[in-house]
Amino acid sequence: MNKLFLIVGFILLSQLTIAQDYIKHTVKTGETVYSLTKKYNVSEAAIYQLNPDAKSGLSIGKVVIIPNGTTIANNENEFELEYDTHKVKRKETLYSLSKRFDVSVDDLKKHNPRLYAEPLKKGDVIKIPLLKEFETAVSTKDNDTVLVVKQSKITHIVVAKETKYGIAKQYGITVAELEKQNPVIQSGLKIGQELKIVKVEDIPTEDNGTPTNFEYYSVQEKDTFYSLSKSLGLTEEQIKSYNPKFSDGLKAGMLLKYPKEGSVVVEMGSTIAYSEGKTKLVDSIRNYDKKKLAIMLPFRLNQVPDSSRTLKKEHLETNRLLNATLDFYSGVLVAVDSLKSHGISTDLKVIDTENDYVRLSKKLDELDLSDRDAVIGPMFPKNLERVATVLEANHIPVISPISQRDLKLTSNTFQTIPSSIAMRDKMIEYLQKNLTIQNVVLITDSKSSAIKDLLKEKFPNLQVMMANDDEYVVPDHVKKRLYKEKENWVLVETQNNGLVVNVITAVNALKAKYDVKLFTTSSSAQFKNKDNYQLANLNFCFPSIDLEVHSDEEIPNPFVEKYVTTYGVTPNRFAIRGFDVTMDVLLRLSVSGNLMDSAMLGETEYVENRFNYMNMVDGGFYNNAFYIARYKEDLTIEKVE
């Protein structure tokens, strides 16, 4: 119960404080800039910096951006900023501009403060911060990669027949950059002019000075993508994925990055670590930018009684949806906290969907999610489809965390739950691969004719036994289909919970005299929470979305230990699901920088869940990773595949 109050308190606090680098203040009667400085303990200069028009006075109802207790730092000793301007075109968003100009959405807002108070509109002219020059070493995280930034200052004397284009190309910069560094040449070049040219190159090295898993090559005048692909053994697409700036073409003097020989890579250009056939993203982190994540869950805080602690406690104890939601969210928080030790920080925006489609739609009209790297949730299909549709234009991934129902996938939807058809097919494949001389018996009902016909096609010698009245089987009737001299496989295919219980009991009664094992190709809930002793006795084998972690293992699971330390209880499957989904999303963003591209990373595995996304022909991504599991005699469940 303490865990529930702790999480609810955190949610309420989060909705007030998360991502509050700035405060939006609506001016009231009698307020002045001076009174605001006293109220928020900031300087007038800080207010004017974010609100230049405030110098002409404040009007009632005006929204003023206030720095949250600090003024904007100006690290002049490290770098200076210059600005370019951009006129916003139709359909452009802060997210698309951040990708185009390689600057974060936060920085765009910081240098265009009005964007904190109003949305971006077509025709707006905004400032784009540009790094002028610097020479320093920036550690991306403790004891890890260091970015050494090398500044090359060059003096160039203009000679006859030289052009601005030729000079810019010679030094691997654009004509605009050349003119910006030398404003005097905007009207034209003159023989003998002395130009100052600054080139900035960044070369990643380890903290001990040794190179990373990449080599570097200076592009020559006659190099082409074709010649480079031949010499480096890479495709043009791979070269561009390692060097996004090359998408606009090659320029002599550019520094080209490519993986060292022997490095394991995927197409978007990460060096990826593997363990037991699974991708270990935590050992492959290359993007240490703060991750911007939104969590949309049905907390329904508006329904929590506010009259007394007793009523709140009763509500928390009896509301099953709220309990599942809080458990999932508790796992999210542990994932976010765990990644801090790997240098990954997260800006978490928590949104209560209230499990109400109409209210959620209204919230989406008011919320600005354009800066989010990904959105986890909502839980229920109708709400998730609404969110995914709204965010599709901005290419913001929306992750379905729990629902097993079919979704209408948009191009930005990630369904983390494998399809029942994929799991069924994999289970059939497993049975076919391991079948030798076993006797195979199918027990089913009239409502499961599709799977019955499929299994008869896959197993020609299959014996089919229909349940009496679709409700039960008689042990003696089952016994007539078994052999004492060989192993017997009994497959159960039904959605009838009562029939499942009946078959398990009936087959168990025959176990003493027959070598019999129980199977199903179904991943449905009918096989959950049954008698573990009977299932273990029959070595029950089945496809499963997750694989239960055992808290009594000799080597404790780090997540379970951390969870128990934090909340005082062991995590249930919802908490573990929240941890696994969030960990996978954040690590994929930390390796590839883009969740859509991360689908190429291969299969990942965490506490109880696997993820391996397939890009669907009709759009969206489906997780195709799961387990074939089997009960052992000691009542634990082991991974078969």
383-436 pLDDT per residue, tens: 999 999 999 999 999 999 998 888 888 999 999 999 999 999 999 999 999 999
pLDDT tens profile 520-563: 998 767 777 778 889 999 999 999 999 887 655 555 688 888 89
Q: Can you tell me the distance from the alpha carbon of 491 to that of 445, in angstroms, rounded to the nearest whole number?
A: 12
* Beta pairing, strands 637-639 & 627-631: antiparallel
Q: Provide the pLDDT for residue 10.
A: 61
**108-115, long-range: CB within 8 Å, 24+ apart, which pairs?**
110/72, 111/81, 111/83, 113/22, 113/49, 113/50, 113/51, 113/65, 114/65
- For residue 493, pLDDT over 90 is answered with yes
Q: Provide the pLDDT for residue 389.
A: 94
Q: Give me 228's structure tokens.
A: 């480079």
pLDDT tens profile 215-253: 667 677 778 888 887 777 777 777 776 676 676 778 776
Q: Name every residue whose Cβ is closer than 8 Å to that of residue 103 and which is 6 or more positions away in sequence.
A: 97, 128, 129
Which residue has better confidence, 455 or 105?
A: 455
* Beta pairing, strands 63-67 & 81-87: unpaired
Which residue reads 């160039």 in tokens? Answer: 156
**3-class SS at 508?**
helix
Looking at the DSSP bridge assignments, the partners of residue 154 are 197
Which residue has better confidence, 404 or 174?
A: 404
CB–CB of 177/186 below 8 Å? no
- What mean pLDDT comes out for the span 275-279? 56
Q: Name every residue whose Cβ is closer than 8 Å to that of residue 199 and which is 6 or more positions away in sequence.
A: 151, 152, 154, 171, 172, 173, 253
pLDDT level of residue 312 (50, 70, 90 thresholds): low
Average pLDDT, the chain: 79
Q: Name every residue whose Cβ is closer than 8 Å to that of residue 614 and which is 6 or more positions away in sequence.
A: 599, 621, 622, 623, 624
Which residue has better confidence, 523 or 614?
A: 614
pTM: 0.60
CB–CB of 198/152 below 8 Å? yes
User: What structural domains and CATH numbers belong to the chain?
Assistant: 81-131 (3.10.350.10), 146-211 (3.10.350.10), 421-544 (3.40.640.10)
- What mean pLDDT comes out for the span 115-144? 59
**How far lies 477's CA from each of 37, 64, 140, 489, in Å?**
86, 80, 68, 15
CA angle 143, 597, 350 (to 5 degrees): 75
Q: Give me 13's structure tokens.
A: 């606090």
pLDDT level of residue 329 (50, 70, 90 thresholds): very high
Cα-Cα-Cα-Cα torsion 308, 309, 313, 316, nearest 10 degrees, comes to 70
CA angle 301, 302, 306 (to 5 degrees): 90
Residue % of the chain over a pLDDT of 90: 35
